[in-house]
Each structure stands twice: as structure tokens, then as C-alpha cells.
Structure 1
Amino acid sequence: MSDARRPQRLHIGLFGRRNAGKSSLCNALCGQDAALVSPVPGTTTDPVEKVMELAPLGPVVLLDTPGLDDAGELGAQRVARSLRALEEVDVALVVLEDQRWGAPERELAALLQEADVPFGIVCNCRDDAAEQAARRLGPEAFALPASVPLAVCRLDGAATPAGALDGVREMLVRLRPPAEEPPLLRDLLPPRGRLILVCPQDGSAPKGRLIMPQVQAIRDALDGDALCLVVTDKALGAALDSLREPPQLIVCDSQVIAAVAATAPPDVPLTTFSVLMARLKGDLPLLARGAAALHGLRPGDTVLIQEACSHHPQADDIGRVKIPRLLARLAGGELDCRLLAGRHWQDYAAAPRPRAVVHCGGCTLSRRQMTRRLVTARRADLPMTNYGMAISLAQGVLERVLSPFPEALAAYREACLDQNVRAGHA
């Protein structure tokens, strides 16, 4: 558990006014000075992350945020960053100075409820009288549902006695949502199932290691007791010839899907790492419906390319070059492809209205973070799919790579039928 990847960790956000004690709580939970603490209001100017083990929760990410009552033009930007952090957290702690509850806290609670983020109240009391008063309170004192838990403590940063945080730890255990991440691929195989992973190692592959989805696939196959053979695309034919029985699943990188589909026996289930990530991180049928919208692209249409991480652009970068090139071929002419990269979802409001969103695999995002992006796109009535599904569509093999997932395949076919009906009325 100690080496769990960031997307698999519980993300805990600390929110509240300036000098309410958020950074002190962060340091107390860490047992070290992870966040800067000062009596000067506005000391925390950007969200601060601390990756750690927190008993009894296990691996977590603590996110300490700027104060919600910051003032001035720069302060407004800090508040906006704090509120944007709501997109990242699984659980939130609203830290109060004593029992101070006002407009910033009410607005935050409303946003947390709207985003369906479980949260609790932590009263950071300055003296015995305030602590005694706070312990007599319940969530109804803040006009909150009875289900919202409340903890009382007196914070002194990393020097806070361990027992003083027992109530906070118990609250976090209560708030923690149930694990909802499905297996990556092992449920697609029988016991001791035969699996081939096709991992091309081209110029964009990291030196000395595999990319994250490939590593996850290998580990999930081992967890499922599968017989896993890892090869490059050039060695796939030899790998198939070496087996006495055909594999029961082939998974490949999206960028070699056309060649692999031509080599793999037609009766062997075939999919891509990107499709597996789409199922792991979000709503695969919804993303399949989003892929169908790409059939309606016309030259000059605007398409948003969303990446969850920032990386150094390659000569033939997938988001900047390959995807736009494939989509242009699909549309029959050049498109207005706009790349938005970074860990935060970026809304797009400028004209002309986008026809679709093509998102990366989201390997650096948690399932909750990716799901929120899907919800945001759906509320804006923007069809959304991901890199691998767009590539498979442009290569004419999307139905085959969706075949291991009947619900997603049916959603794609239904959306294609709907689009044909709409086109007929256009």
C-alpha cells in the first residue's frame, strides 16, 4: 500500500478561511511541517499536496488550500484555485476557527453537496471555553444534515498530540467512499487465461520502463493468475505461432491497432489499453457514444483535445499531431483542434461551439476525477470520447476493440444509428 500510485490514493481536501488552521491540520496529520504555518493571513497561496500514509486509511493525498475569504484581485484568484480543487478530492474537511460559520462556509458546503463530495466539519478551538462550546454542537448548528460529522480539536501543527486527532481520523474513515475501481482486464479472462499484451517501443516510449497502462495491465493479469505474454508489435506474429492454443485476449497500444487487427485471428477478442483505461476510469458506454459523434465531423469543425497531464511535446505528438491528423482524415478536411492540457479540466466557452471532446486515457487521474470530467462534458452537451477510441474509429476497427464489452458496443451502434437519423433530417 505504501507505494500506491497517486490516482489510487484517497484525496482529502482541507478547506476553510485564512488562519482557520488548515495548514496546522495538514501538518498534524502528517506529523511534520509539510505546509507553511504563519499568523499572517493568506500564507497558503496555492494548493499544497502531501502524499503519505494515514492510519487507518492507508495511502492518501492531503490537499491544503488557500483561504476562502481571501481579498483583492489576487485573493480572488487564490479562492478560485481552492474551489477548483473540489474537482480533485474524494473527501473534504471544512476547518473552522472555533465555531465561526458564515457565508464562505455556507457557499462551500453547497458546492460540496452539489458535487456529491462527502465532507465533515473540524472545529479548531483556541482555548478550553471554545472547545467545550464546540463539543456541545452538532451539524444542525450549521444548518447541515445530521449525516455531516463534526470533530473538535486544538491544533498546534506537527506538535499536536496524536490523540487529539482521533476524532478527525474516525471522521475520515466514516466519510471515505467505498472503493469503486473495477479490475482492468482480469475479469475478461478465465482462470489461467492466455493473454498477449502488445507494447510497441518507439521513440515516444520512456527509456528503461513501460508506460503506466502497460504496467497496470501486467499487474492486473498477474493478480488474475493469467498467463501473460508481453511482446512488441513486430513480434506479435511469432508470439501467435509459438502458442499451442490461441490467446483468449489480445491488448495492444492504440497506435498499432490497425496492424495488430490485421495480424490477430478474427475470432480472438482484441482491445486496446486505452479502451481498458476508459472502462477503469469512467463510463465506457458513454465514451463509446461520444466516439460515434466523430462520424459527424466536417471540415472546419472545432474539436477539443483534453490531456490530463503536461508532458514535453514529441515530434509526432499524439494529442498535437496524430489525433488531429486522424480526425481530419475522418472529416475529409482540416479541423480546428484545440489542445487543453493540465491536471484541471478546462471549460471552453469561446465560439465556435466544439463538436466533440477527445480526452487522453486519464492514467494520472482517479476514477472520480475522470467521472467528473465526463459529467461536466455531458452537462454542456459535448460528446466525449478518448484518444484510443478515436484512433480505433479512424482506423475502422472500433467495433472490434469494443467487442469484449457488449454494453459499450451496443451504445456505440445505437449512437451511430441516431446520428444517421439526425443526418437524414439535416
Structure 2
Amino acid sequence: MNSNLNNTPTANRVHIAFYGKRNSGKSSVINAITGQTVSIVSEVAGTTTDPVYKAMEISGIGPCMLIDTAGFDDVGELGQIRVQKTEGVLEKTDIAVLLFSETDMEQELQWYEQLLSKNTPVVTVISKSDEKENLLEIEEAVKKNTDTEPILVSAKTGDGISLLMEELIKKVPDDFERESITRDLIQEGETVLLVMPQDIQAPKGRLILPQVQVLRELLDKKCLVMSVTTDKLEEALACMKEAPKLIITDSQVFKTVYESKPAESKLTSFSMLYAAYKGDIDYYKEGAKVIDTLTENSKVLIAECCSHAPLKEDIGREKLPRMLRNKIGENLTVDVVSGMDFGTNLEQYDLIIQCGACMFNRKYVMSRIGQAMEKQIPMSNYGVVLAYLSGILENVSI
């Protein structure tokens, strides 16, 4: 069993989405690629309703997520809901496979332009190539309208599947293999102290995902790592022969750790590491400065990725709103959205605060940042805001 396949989080996989009309062969092509029945295949149009996700590992790409979407020509009230869900997948697509099945390709071309507008690499495919009498006509139309060489694919015979796989490998964005989460903040053999309070938000018996991923990366870098809860910080520092090169903390205890850390130790937080890894750290830093201009008439949107029941002392739903209101005024409006929700009327907000986004891929986080930039709305991040409110942002390493 491939440990990389099983252990790689969804957010760190290349997201490859398949788009096309109902019954265009999307599900069959995915099944042919995976060699498994990932999606139900039927001659009945509209068999795929909600997007179907399949974690895979493709040689040359590595861990990836294949996404089978509903046909974008779906009709009726339910059909429109399905199309909306397909549109939602656009924001997280790293590579798109666009299936053409007939000479009437107005809708396909609209989606093609939409994908290009999001800087998404597109592989054009003519599906069910073994069944089409007008294959040459369709092929010429795709070439003319997209300036691409479509791949002729038959899920039934297997023709074209290997060519499709080769093209997917070529289309992996150059910046997908981004720098590490900890970047150049720490090197092999250097000491790192992780301060990880295990509060009510931490799953019982487990660490939260950012802690796990950072710890694994530090071990891969051959760093010397010590992990403690906040109440053991002083003891940990006292038993270390030398001050740690880097301290990574939960953002909620930023000020406590900052006041106790050795002067020579660099300090950052898990959330800030993810702010730089998944998003635009400079934009986040500028966004945090807007806090000083907010009034009780201002509105703030807090966007968290995890969809969970509200917990006592939840950072996004309770701690951040309380800290902001303590600084600005009790009448400050703070709205919270979670999961894929991001709001349809962003113009009403004076500031957006995004969580670390460990559950989203970079493409989706950057799409949110793009929406904020387009509407000229300042945007920041949990860790950046907490550091700013604690008065230590300029002293934190990012």
C-alpha cells in the first residue's frame, strides 16, 4: 500500500477536474484512468450529481485528486444547483480536462474561456472517439476554436488514455511544488521548539493537521525538534543547552511565547507559516494594518475552512471577534462563514480574515484572495491578525 497516497492531505494534492456536458464520458474516462469504478457510468444523462472526488497517485504527478463534475448543460431547478456546484470546483482546479462530444460546442467554449481566465491549464479531449462518425469534424472545430490539439479518447477501448496521462503530467503548474512550509527559516541540524497547546479544539488523541505537517517536514529536514504545551515552555527552554533556532507556536499564545522566548530565537506560528505557504503573506500583512482604521460601524468577515460545530473559545467564532471588539468597540459587526462558503456580497465588508487554510489547496486560497483584491477589500489571516493585535507582527519571522 502506498503510504504517500494514503497520507497526503487533500489540500496538498494536484486537483484535476473533468468538465463536460451530461453523458459526455467524464466518468468513464476517470474510471479508465484509475482502473477502478470511481464514478457510476450510465447512458442516462445526469447520472453524476454532486462532484465526486478520488484520491490517486499518478506517476510523474504524484498525489492528486481527480474530480468528476456534473454536466454543465444540466437543466431544471436541481440541474442548476448541480451546475453551481460544478462552478464551485473551478476555484480549486489545478488542471482541467475539458471533454468535447459534438460539433455544437458553445457551452464547452464558454467554460474553456472561464478556465483560462483563472489561469487554469486545460487539456482538451474528444471523448467516445470510437463511436463518432463525425470525429474529424469535431476535431477540426476544437482545434480552430481553442488553438489546441485535442486528445482522442475511448474509455471503452483504452485508446488515448496514455496520451491523456502524458498531457496531464506536462500541465502540472510550475509553481505547484512550492517551497516548503518552513522555507529557509530552519536548516538541517538546527533546533526547533514547537509550542502546541492542546485545547478543546484539538481532536482527542491527535494533533491538528498543521502541527502534523510541520512536524513531519522538520523531521524530513533532519532538524532537532522538541514539542511542548504552553505551560511547559519555561521548563523546555531551561533544559535546552542552547536557545532554539526557531520557535513555532499556536497563534493564540503568540504574546505569551514572545515574552518568554530567548532574544536570539526566531518566532513564528503555524497559521503564519500556512499564510505564506497557501496565500499571499504580504497582502495579509497590509490587511492587518486596516484594523486601526475600523470603527464600530465597520463589518468584518471571518472565513474559516473547517466545517465544525462551534466550540467553546473557538478562535474564529469567539476569540478573534472578542479581541477585535475589545479594540474597536462592542458594536463591531463580525460575520463568520465556514467550509466552502465565502459570501456572495463581499463588498459589505471592510476586512476579511482567513484562517490558515490547511484544508484548502493553494489554488482555492488564491482564488479567494483574488476576489478580495478585485473588490479592493483588505484581507488578512488568523496568525497575522493575532500577531498584529499583540503588537509583535514586525518581530515575527515569516
TM bin, normalised by shorter chain, reads: over 0.9
> In the alignment, is the contact (CA less than 8 A) between 1:282 and 1:371 conserved in 2?
yes
Partner of 1:38: 42
> In the alignment, is the contact (CA less than 8 A) between 2:200 and 2:312 conserved in 1?
no
SS in 2 for 1:187: coil
Residue segments in structure 2 that go unaligned for 5+ positions in a row: none
1:125 aligned onto 2:120:
no
Map 1:157-172 to 2 at 5 A: 160-161=157-158, 164-172=160-168
How far 1:183 sits from its partner (Å)?
A: 1.2
Query: 1:4-49 deviations in whole A, cap 9, x for unaligned?
Result: 2111111011001111111111211121221122111111111111
Partner of 2:111: 108
- 1:129/1:7 Cα in 2 relative to 1: closer, same or farther (>3 Å)? closer
How far 1:252 sits from its partner (Å)?
A: 0.5
Query: 1:176-217 deviations in whole A, cap 9, x for unaligned?
Result: 112342212251124411211101112221111111111111
How far 1:316 sits from its partner (Å)?
A: 1.7
How far 1:138 sits from its partner (Å)?
A: 7.8
Distance 2:280 2:374 in 1: 15
Which residue of 359, 365, 377 maps to 1:364?
A: 359
- 1:134/1:200 Cα in 2 relative to 1: closer, same or farther (>3 Å)? farther
Map 1:24-423 to 2 at 5 A: 24-97=28-101, 99-125=102-128, 127=130, 130=133, 133=136, 137=140, 139-141=142-144, 143-145=145-147, 148-156=148-156, 160-161=157-158, 164-178=160-174, 179-185=176-182, 187-349=184-346, 353-401=348-396, 404-405=397-398
Q: How many residues align?
A: 393
* TM-score w.r.t. length of structure 2: 0.93
Residue segments in structure 1 that go unaligned for 5+ positions in a row: 406-426
> In the alignment, is the contact (CA less than 8 A) between 2:103 and 2:138 conserved in 1?
no
Q: Which amino acid aligns with 2:26?
A: K
- 1:132/1:200 Cα in 2 relative to 1: closer, same or farther (>3 Å)? same
- 1:236/1:96 Cα in 2 relative to 1: closer, same or farther (>3 Å)? same
Query: 1:142-199 deviations in whole A, cap 9, x for unaligned?
Result: x113xx342102223xxx53x5411111111121112342212251124411211101
- 1:134/1:91 Cα in 2 relative to 1: closer, same or farther (>3 Å)? farther
Give % identity.
Answer: 35
> In the alignment, is the contact (CA less than 8 A) between 1:131 and 1:153 conserved in 2?
no
Root mean square deviation of aligned Cα: 2.0
> In the alignment, is the contact (CA less than 8 A) between 2:129 and 2:153 conserved in 1?
no
Distance 1:129 1:359 in 2: 48
SS in 2 for 1:188: coil
Distance 1:186 1:271 in 2: 12
Distance 1:88 1:400 in 2: 33
- 1:101/1:90 Cα in 2 relative to 1: closer, same or farther (>3 Å)? farther
How far 1:229 sits from its partner (Å)?
A: 1.1
Distance 2:313 2:43 in 1: 50
How far 1:283 sits from its partner (Å)?
A: 1.2
Distance 1:130 1:62 in 2: 30
Distance 1:383 1:236 in 2: 35
- 1:131/1:5 Cα in 2 relative to 1: closer, same or farther (>3 Å)? farther
Distance 2:95 2:153 in 1: 19
Distance 1:274 1:84 in 2: 25
Q: Which amino acid aligns with 1:176?
A: V
SS in 1 for 2:207: coil
SS in 2 for 1:177: coil
- 1:247/1:33 Cα in 2 relative to 1: closer, same or farther (>3 Å)? same
